[in-house]
Amino acid sequence: MAKRCAICGKEPQYGHHVSHAKNRVNRRFMPNLQMGRVTVAGRSVRARVCTRCLRTYSA
């Protein structure tokens, strides 16, 4: 299952873990996705959405 918001399309971003010694190791910043019931165009649907969209479009 894709780690992508069904409404806004938010997906993982990439960056680095940076240690005290300034060693850089790749990491991913994951979106906070939840299954929720959202209202889109007057219809209520269950979708995998980020928490910001869940707050905005909740029924």
> What is the per-residue pLDDT across 14-35, written as a single tens digit (0 to 9) for each?
999 999 999 999 999 999 999 9
The single residue listed with the structure tokens 């910043």 is 29
The CA distance from 20 to 50, in Å, is 32
pTM of the model: 0.78
The predicted model gives 5-13 an average pLDDT of 95
C-alpha atoms less than 13 angstroms from C-alpha of 59 in its C-beta half-sphere: 12
